Amino acid sequence: MHSDSRRRALGALLVSTVMMACKSRASSAQRCALCGMRVAPDSRFRAGATKDGRALSFDAPRCLFQYRSTAAGRGLSDPWVIEHYGPGELRTPARAVRYVRASDVRGPMGPDLVPVAPGSVDRFRRDHGGLPALEFDAVTDEIVRGL
């Protein structure tokens, strides 16, 4: 009997430890500053920027561009993305890449602007199709709405 009580207590301790770890991990997950979707730390589509000294996260370049055009997005600085062919953990300045739209590569919320290094745009378009690549400042609200 003593052994059963001990097993139950250890089981309860294990379950509560796992639940606390999951809760801690879930509460520390970043959310997209535009849509509120969780930003997966290993997503190749995540993006970010700084606003008033505060780091902002986005689940995809599309959300970064949409946020940029809102009143809250005024004063956004240091935007970054994850380059398609680069290592997934490497943040790349958003103005250092080109953006391909209408390719077969889909973001977490569907069609998106895929960040590609200037020297890799032709390769990307051969591999995945898409329209000619755009520079950061050439991505307009109309283009984003057309995704």
Please give the Cα distance from 143 to 46 (Å, whole number).
Answer: 19
User: What is the predicted pLDDT for the residue at 127?
Assistant: 96
- The pLDDT tens digits for 80-129 are 999 999 887 799 999 999 999 999 999 998 999 999 999 999 999 999 99
Residue, of 99 and 6, whose pLDDT is higher: 99
User: What is the predicted pLDDT for the residue at 29?
Assistant: 72
The DSSP element (H or E) to which 8 belongs, if any, is helix 2-28
- The pLDDT tens digits for 45-90 are 999 999 999 999 999 999 999 999 999 999 999 999 999 998 877 9
Is residue 115 within 8 Å of 103, Cβ to Cβ? no
Q: What angle do CA 105, 62, 130 make, to 5 degrees?
A: 35
- The pLDDT tens digits for 29-48 are 799 999 999 999 989 999 99
pLDDT band, residue 7 (cuts 50/70/90): low
User: What is the predicted pLDDT for the residue at 88?
Assistant: 72
Count, residues in the chain: 147
Is residue 84 within 8 Å of 118, Cβ to Cβ? no
Residue matched to tokens 């959300």 = 63
The DSSP element (H or E) to which 64 belongs, if any, is helix 61-68
Per the confidence metrics, is the pTM higher than 0.75?
Answer: yes
